[in-house]
Amino acid sequence: MAKDPSKTEKATPRRREKAKEEGQVPKSQDIPISASLLVIFLFFIFYFPFAYEKLRSYFGYIFSNPLYLIVSENRLTITETLYVLGILIFPVFLTLFIVGIISNVAQFGLIFTLKPLTPKLDKLNPISGLQRLFSLKTVFELFKNILKLLVATVVAYFLVKTLLEDVFRFSMVAVNKEAYILLKYTLIMIFAFAILSIPIGVIDYIFRRHEYEENIKMSKHEIKEEQKLYEGNPQVKAAIRKKQREMSLTRMMAEVTKADVVITNPTHYAVALEYKRGKMQAPKVIAKGKDNIALKIKEKAKEHNIPVEENPALARSLYESCEVGDIIPENLYQAIAKILAKIYKSKSL
């Protein structure tokens, strides 16, 4: 559970990433155990014929070869024994190793960190130790271990009870038959533990997941501080945006001096156009604005003796259909051409 009552908000992605870097992940140790038992059961079913044949061949070689009794030849016997043990045991350990990795990666992904190994002084605090002793986690662990003990006791009881019925027949069957009976009950025991440990593992994982989510919860203040740290202070960001708008407006107003004409709605819109005959396909919007900015554009145009044409419909259409730097749309060519023609004619007089 969250230790701080103020931590009521779900963790942010950055908080989760930080927790993962520190080795804090939802992890159940019972999931790998359940997976290992189930895989080993399946593995032995298919692996046993090979192992049986290998052992039969090995003992046949040992007991049919009198050289193993000679001390000087024991090196060959030891080498052969180690070779057979390696072939039989290595696949089992390799399988368990792979299953352990997969079952853990499936829970929390791939991570590599040494932070969980770093000593923490708070673990030496006796008060913290007492709090952990009487925590929900401790109660859950106790309940889980009692459940495991009950499962193991029940399985062992029924297996031993059934096995005892066959023990008295061992003296009347061949050695390979005895081995088969022992192997059968061993596999049954592994399978029973595997099946019964699956629900325990699932319950444990659900609890660990819940505990993890509670432990990484954040307070509203922490979320705000994180946003300031990674996204910047809102006031600073607003000031930056304001400064950027001012710089953009300054650049745009400087471009107005290059305009050939400014099309306006008398009070609301102003669009400055530039057209260089022979160099441009069509007139280009180099500045636009509404209300106060429109007034500034008109004032700038008058300062530099740039013609200002009042055409409310055309000004509004240009403002809504074009951004600064755009070529005017084809449907406005004729209207703009008439205005430019009138301006060029007046200049030539």
Chain segment 198-212, per-residue pLDDT in tens: 888 888 888 888 888
The 8-class DSSP code of residue 173 comes to S
- Taking residues 132-152, what's their average pLDDT? 75
The answer to whether position 96 is within a domain reads yes
Least confident range of 83-92, 190-199, 230-239, 340-349: 230-239
The domain that contains 311 carries what CATH number? 3.40.1690.10
Task: Clarify whether residues 189 and 312 are in a common domain.
Answer: no
pLDDT at 186: 80
Q: How confident is the model at residue 1 (pLDDT cuts 50, 70, 90)?
A: very low
The answer to whether position 176 is within a domain reads yes
Task: Clarify whether residues 148 and 275 are in a common domain.
Answer: no
The answer to whether position 4 is within a domain reads no
Q: Which domain holds residue 166?
A: 13-228
Q: How confident is the model at residue 69 (pLDDT cuts 50, 70, 90)?
A: low
Q: How confident is the model at residue 91 (pLDDT cuts 50, 70, 90)?
A: confident
Task: Clarify whether residues 122 and 270 are in a common domain.
Answer: no
> Which of 228, 263, 287 is the last residue before a domain boundary?
228
Q: How confident is the model at residue 134 (pLDDT cuts 50, 70, 90)?
A: low
Task: Clarify whether residues 218 and 259 are in a common domain.
Answer: no
The distance from CA 259 to its chain's CA centroid, rounded to whole angstroms, is 53
Task: Clarify whether residues 211 and 268 are in a common domain.
Answer: no
Half-sphere exposure of 232 (CA within 13 A, CB side): 8
Task: Clarify whether residues 160 and 293 are in a common domain.
Answer: no
With H, G, I as helix, E, B as strand and everything else as coil, classify residue 113. Answer: coil
What is the torsion angle, in degrees rounded to the nearest 10, for the CA atoms of residue 263, residue 264, residue 265 and residue 269? 110
Q: What is the pTM of this model?
A: 0.51
Residue 270 — left, alpha, or beta (φ > 0 → left; ψ -120 to 50 → alpha)? beta
Least confident range of 22-26, 199-203, 274-278: 22-26
Give 197 or 347, the one with higher predicted confidence. Answer: 197
The answer to whether position 183 is within a domain reads yes
What type of residue sits at position 185? Y
pLDDT at 71: 54
Residue given tokens 């400055």 in the structure block: 272
Task: Clarify whether residues 264 and 147 are in a common domain.
Answer: no
Least confident range of 58-62, 111-115, 205-209, 256-260: 111-115
Percent of the chain exceeding pLDDT 70 equals 81
Q: Whole-angstrom Cα distance, residue 305 to residue 261?
A: 10
Which tokens sit at 325?
């730097």
Task: Clarify whether residues 217 and 82 are in a common domain.
Answer: yes
Statement: residue 56 has pLDDT above 50? yes
The answer to whether position 153 is within a domain reads yes
pLDDT at 2: 43
pLDDT at 115: 60
As a whole number, the mean pLDDT across the chain is: 79
Task: Clarify whether residues 223 and 258 are in a common domain.
Answer: no
Residues composing the chain? 349
Task: Clarify whether residues 37 and 75 are in a common domain.
Answer: yes
Cross-strand bridge partners of residue 263: 271, 309
Task: Clarify whether residues 224 and 300 are in a common domain.
Answer: no
- Taking residues 162-174, what's their average pLDDT? 63
Domain count, the chain: 2
> Which of 228, 246, 280 is the last residue before a domain boundary?
228
Q: Rounded to 5 degrees, what are φ and ψ at 324?
A: -60, 130
Task: Clarify whether residues 205 and 337 are in a common domain.
Answer: no
